[in-house]
Structure 1
C-alpha cells in the first residue's frame, strides 16, 4: 500500500481529490435537487439505493437515507474493483463514494421544479456530467461503473451504453412498485445520463489515424514517445502530383489522446498529411491505460 501511494506524485493526489469533490457535489445536486423532488430514479446502484430507501419505511418502519443505502451497496463492489480493475482505482473510488454519501446527507433537498420531465432531463444531465468527469480523470463513482469498466475492457462497448442495459431492470422495478409513469421518467433520465457520460468521457472513443509522411521514423518516434500505440507502416506510397515517394502510417488512438497526437505531428513532421476517422470499431487487442 505504501509503495502504491509513493508511485503517485502529489499533484495526482490533489487532482483526484478535487475531482472526487466535484463529482460528489454534482451527484448530490442531481439527487437532492432533481431526483428526489421529481420522484425520479437514477441509474445503477444509486437507483437501487433509492428503491430500497423508498421501501424501507414499509419494511423496517423507518426511512433509511439514500446516502447510507448507497454506501452499503457499494461495499461488496469495492472488493470486485480491487481484484478486477486495480488497487489505485479502488482506493480513490472508496474516497469518491464516501464523499458522495456525505454530500448527499448534508446537501438539503430543494424543489426547483415539480415537472418530472424537467427533473428527469436536468437530473440525468447533471449526474451524467459528474460520472463522465470522474471517469475521464481516472475515477469511478462506484456502483455499476465497476461492472461497466470491466466489461468495456473486454468488449470495447461504451460505458454509457453498458449502463443503459444494466439499468433496464432498475426502471422496471421502480415502475412496478411505485407507478409506471415513474418508469418512463426514470428511463428518460437514465438515457440522458448515459449520453452525457459518453460525451464527457472520451477515452473509450477510438479514432483511426492515417499519416502520409516523408519522415516516418521521426513521426513514429514522437508518437510512441507521447503515447503507447502500435503503428502499421505501408511502404512505397507515391504522390499523384509530384510522384514523390512517401510512407503511410496507420494507428488508432482515443479521442482523449488526440491533442497528444497533434503535438507529436507538429514536432515531427508539420507538413505531413493526416486523415482521422472518428469513432471506429476495433476487433482484437487495443491497449487501454489502467484507471
Structure 2
C-alpha cells in the first residue's frame, strides 16, 4: 500500500513537471509561432492579390517580385519559382557579407511568399476586375495588407533589402536611395516587356501599396498631439487627466514677443478625443492658445505597445550584431 502511494506521488510529480515544461516551452516559443502564422497569412493575401489583380493584366511590381514577374512574362516559369531562384544568390551574398542570422530570419518569409504566389496561381485565369486601373488599385490594397502584416510582426520576405545593406555597409550609401535606383531600373526594364502603359498603371498600384503598408504597420487609428499655451497650466492638466482620460506633460518656454516665461501643456490623444479636449480646455481657459498636429505614431501606455521593427530595421540590427559589421557614417 505504501509503495502504491509512493508511485502515485511520483506520477503526480511527473505530471506537474511535464505540465510545467510544456508551459515553459509554449511561453518561450509562442511569439515565434504567432509570427510564423501571421507571416503565412500575410504572404497568402499577397499571393492572392498578385495572382488575381496583377497577372491577368500583365502588370509589374518592384523588388525581386517585379523581376520575377518580368521573367515570368518572358519564360512562362512561375513567379514563385523565379522568386526562389533570384533570392538564392542574394542569400549567399548576405550569408557571406552580413552573417547567417540575416538569412535565417528572412528564409521562412521568402519561401512562404514564393509558395503562396504559386498556390493561388489559378486566380490569374479568372479575371476578377476587367479594368486595369481598378485592378491595379486592388493589387496595391491586397499586397499592401499582406506585406504590412508581415512587417508588423517583424517578418521579412527577402528581396532587395540584403543588397541595399551590403552596398550600405561597404559604400556608405543610403538604403532608401539604393532601393529607389534598383526599383527604377526594374520598372525601366519592364517597359520593354509589358509596355509603357502597363508600367504607368503599375505606379498607381505602388502608390496605394505604400499607403496601405504604412497604415497596417503603424495602425489606422490616427493620433494627434496638442500643444496648449496657457497661464492656467495645472488646472488644464487636471481637467485633461480627469475629463479626457489622458496624461499631460508640462514644457517650459518663453514668449518670443513678451519675453516672459510660459508653460506649454503637451497632450497626445486619438482622433475621437480631439473635440472633447478642445471643449475641456475652453471650459478652463478660453484664452488658451492650442496647436494640434498629426502624430505618425504614439507608443506607450494608453496607446500602442512598441511595434516590432520592420524588415529593413531588423536587417540593420542583425548586421550590427555581426562581428564583421562596420558602420559607415553618411
**TM-score when normalising by structure 1:** 0.61
Aligned mates of 2:91, 2:167 — CA distance in 1: 16
- Any gaps of 5 or more consecutive residues in structure 1? 1-5, 57-62, 215-234, 265-285
By how many angstroms is 1:103 displaced?
1.6
Superposed, 1:1-291 pairs within 5 Å as: 9-56=28-75, 63-82=76-95, 87-107=100-120, 108-109=122-123, 110-147=126-163, 163=179, 165-202=181-218, 237=252, 258-260=298-300, 290=317
CA change 1:118–1:129 in 2 (3 A) is same
By how many angstroms is 1:92 displaced?
3.5
Mapped contact 2:41–2:146 kept (Cα < 8 A)? yes
Mapped contact 2:42–2:148 kept (Cα < 8 A)? no
By how many angstroms is 1:255 displaced?
5.7
Aligned mates of 1:51, 1:289 — CA distance in 2: 29
Instruction: Give the match's secondary structure for 1:185.
Output: helix
Mapped contact 1:135–1:201 kept (Cα < 8 A)? yes
CA change 1:166–1:193 in 2 (3 A) is farther
RMSD: 4.4
By how many angstroms is 1:69 displaced?
0.5
Mapped contact 1:39–1:116 kept (Cα < 8 A)? no
CA change 1:83–1:18 in 2 (3 A) is farther
| Structure 1 runs, 4 residues or longer, greater than 4 Å off | 80-89, 147-157, 161-165, 207-210, 237-240, 261-264
Mapped contact 1:89–1:139 kept (Cα < 8 A)? no
Instruction: Give the match's secondary structure for 2:53.
Output: helix
**TM-score when normalising by structure 2:** 0.54
CA change 1:124–1:165 in 2 (3 A) is farther
Aligned mates of 2:147, 2:163 — CA distance in 1: 14
